[in-house]
Structure 1
Amino acid sequence: MTPGRLRALLLPLALLAGMPAGQAQTSDSRCAKPVYLTLDTGHMEVAPLMADVLKRQNVQVTFFAAQERTKEGDGSLGEHWAPWWRARAAEGHAFASHTWDHTYWRGDLGTPDKPLFKVRPSAGPRAGQDFTMTAAEYCAEIAKAADRLQALTGQKPMALFRAPGGKTSPRLIASAQACGYTHVGWSPAGFLGDELSTAQASNEALLRKALRDIRAGDILLAHLGIWSRTDPWAPAVLEPLIVGLKERGFCFRTLREHPDYATKTVR
């Protein structure tokens, strides 16, 4: 074998050896076992560490963002975190709204043709208060977070939203669809448990459950910091979970590549 032929054979192996872990696998569009990791905002303390894991593992995710209270800075979509969001955009992640004030749906009011919603934000000037929103006001709450994401990232967010806590009603979903937003929840096995107290479930137990139960096509959910968990889920579980799923033949995709949401790329 000539030296030139030998170099030609060895070059691909050398390139693979220099890639971040899993890069060859995650860049393979033919992967038959996709999963869709989504990350909602939170107190953001672990956000830099989580971003490091995603970059090291060459995994792209979909962020659902609200202007939540944080341990550092002026809210998760504030100026303090603007460089962090710009960096995630440069890495190719996808973005969508989680409502501006992390506004929970609490009940339907009004009538089907004039819907009203009882809501309770967990952030913003009315945090912890119950009050009523019209359908138009709820749409504006979704759009405000989407607009802020676009200003921070320079990218149009997906025409998707996730209601805080996943709490919705058919009327709420229909009202959001009427103003251009599709709701995205998560798969039953995709609930990764970072919202549970440490007493309920250890990180080790949550990792074992996820690796056992997750199936191809699942939408996975975790957060950029949970106030109530004393033993943080991230980054302790995040990297072992990604590595373990890759070893089982899974690949990671954003919702831009999900068959139900691929056409919802921009508003």
Structure 2
Amino acid sequence: MSRARKAVLLGVVVIAVGLTGRAAAQSTPGEPVAAPVSAPASAPAPVKAKPAPSKSATKAPAPPKKPVKGPQATGRSISYAGGPAGSRTMTGSKGIALTFDDGPDPATTPQLLRMLRQQHVKATFCLVGKNAAKFPDLVRQIVKDGHTLCNHTWDHSLKIGKDPEGKIRSDLMRTNNAILRAVPKARIKYFRAPGGNFTPRLVSVANKLHMSSIYWKLDPRDWDHKKGESSAAHRSRVIATIEKHAHPGSIILSHDYAQPDTIAAYRTLLPYLRKRYQLIALP
């Protein structure tokens, strides 16, 4: 190549380099430079937006519930227990339960049943086993009239609570069997110790036989005939005691066995109590 041609080519190269530098100098600072085609840049991962908090999450937490105290805590309107060895003194509702012990009695029980029927009142009869065995027709009539049955031991032993467990169980089962012979499908859900002489052992045995032990809240002592007290005075005392001390939920103790004055007193008491209270048989 001639010197002249080399000189021309060198001049062209110098001019080209100068133009490239001027173009680079005139470009805007920070302008992105395209990546080479052979190595394309990957697109950045999209940033997920945080979800807006739900309405429930923005609510203030509810204040803690106050603990339930008193009758509502047990689900009962009135306390059941209160008698010896945890026996029941109350019905557990506003209803009053009239309970009659020691029968059935062939002279007085039919009179009482007739009065209760006339007044549309249901009661609870605590039956002595040997009396139930002797007068099964009266047991059947008690059940037929819709009254509740209660085991009151075989022969009204006041010391049964001190007997060994096996002997207690035999006595209570013997009494239940006498009742069931009269009414095979009878429900015997309650037990009452003679004299209210409950002991933990006695209550435990009754419970194992599926019977709840009932005491009383009101005892008018209709069984207690004081020396020199006339029948009229006795009836007046029983009536006055029950009228004064009866209140909703009470279990009232009375006797239909060999207590004609009690039957006479209830001729006055039944209408009086019906007007003021709900009278119920223990369920």
TM-superposed CA distance for 1:233, in Å, is 2.2
Contact 2:149 2:189 in 1 (8 A): no
Distance (whole Å) between structure 1 residues aligned to residue 160 and residue 143 of structure 2? 33
> Residue 159 of structure 1 aligns to a residue in which SS?
strand
Report the counterpart of residue 98 of structure 1 in structure 2. Answer: 152
User: How large is the Cα RMSD of the aligned pairs?
Assistant: 2.2
Distance (whole Å) between structure 2 residues aligned to residue 198 and residue 247 of structure 1? 30
TM-superposed CA distance for 1:43, in Å, is 7.3
> Residue 233 of structure 1 aligns to a residue in which SS?
helix
Distance (whole Å) between structure 1 residues aligned to residue 123 and residue 275 of structure 2? 18
Distance (whole Å) between structure 2 residues aligned to residue 64 and residue 254 of structure 1? 12
Q: What is the TM-score normalised by the length of structure 2?
A: 0.60
Report the counterpart of residue 8 of structure 2 in structure 1. Answer: none
Distance (whole Å) between structure 2 residues aligned to residue 34 and residue 106 of structure 1? 30
How many pairs were matched up? 186
CA 41–105 in structure 1, closer or farther in 2 if over 3 Å, else same? same
Report the counterpart of residue 261 of structure 2 in structure 1. Answer: 233
Give % identity. 23
Contact 1:64 1:162 in 2 (8 A): yes
Matched ranges for 1:1-267 at <5 A: 33-42=94-103, 44=105, 45-68=107-130, 76-79=131-134, 81-105=135-159, 117=162, 133-187=163-217, 190-199=218-227, 202-226=234-258, 232-248=260-276, 250-256=277-283
**Between Structure 1 and Structure 2, whose CA radius of gyration is higher?**
2
Report the counterpart of residue 20 of structure 1 in structure 2. Answer: none
Higher helix share: 2
Distance (whole Å) between structure 1 residues aligned to residue 263 and residue 224 of structure 2? 15
Contact 1:150 1:156 in 2 (8 A): yes
Distance (whole Å) between structure 2 residues aligned to residue 35 and residue 43 of structure 1? 22
Distance (whole Å) between structure 1 residues aligned to residue 190 and residue 261 of structure 2? 26
Contact 2:256 2:263 in 1 (8 A): no
Higher strand share: 1
One-letter identity of the residue aligned with 1:65: L
CA 48–241 in structure 1, closer or farther in 2 if over 3 Å, else same? same
TM-superposed CA distance for 1:172, in Å, is 2.7
Distance (whole Å) between structure 2 residues aligned to residue 62 and residue 95 of structure 1? 6
TM-superposed CA distance for 1:153, in Å, is 2.3
Contact 2:103 2:132 in 1 (8 A): no
Q: What is the TM-score normalised by the length of structure 1?
A: 0.63
TM-superposed CA distance for 1:163, in Å, is 0.7
One-letter identity of the residue aligned with 1:169: T
TM-superposed CA distance for 1:42, in Å, is 4.2
CA 247–180 in structure 1, closer or farther in 2 if over 3 Å, else same? closer
CA 198–49 in structure 1, closer or farther in 2 if over 3 Å, else same? farther
One-letter identity of the residue aligned with 2:96: V
> Residue 247 of structure 2 aligns to a residue in which SS?
coil
Distance (whole Å) between structure 1 residues aligned to residue 100 and residue 117 of structure 2? 15
CA 106–177 in structure 1, closer or farther in 2 if over 3 Å, else same? closer
Give the unaligned 5+ runs of structure 2: 1-92
Distance (whole Å) between structure 2 residues aligned to residue 195 and residue 85 of structure 1? 22
CA 49–179 in structure 1, closer or farther in 2 if over 3 Å, else same? closer
Give the unaligned 5+ runs of structure 1: 1-31, 69-75, 108-116, 118-132, 257-267
CA 241–102 in structure 1, closer or farther in 2 if over 3 Å, else same? same
> Residue 149 of structure 1 aligns to a residue in which SS?
helix
TM-superposed CA distance for 1:164, in Å, is 0.6
Moved more, 44-53 or 197-206: 197-206
Distance (whole Å) between structure 2 residues aligned to residue 98 and residue 64 of structure 1? 5
Distance (whole Å) between structure 1 residues aligned to residue 220 and residue 110 of structure 2? 19
Contact 1:46 1:234 in 2 (8 A): no
TM-superposed CA distance for 1:239, in Å, is 2.1
One-letter identity of the residue aligned with 1:96: C
Contact 1:135 1:176 in 2 (8 A): no
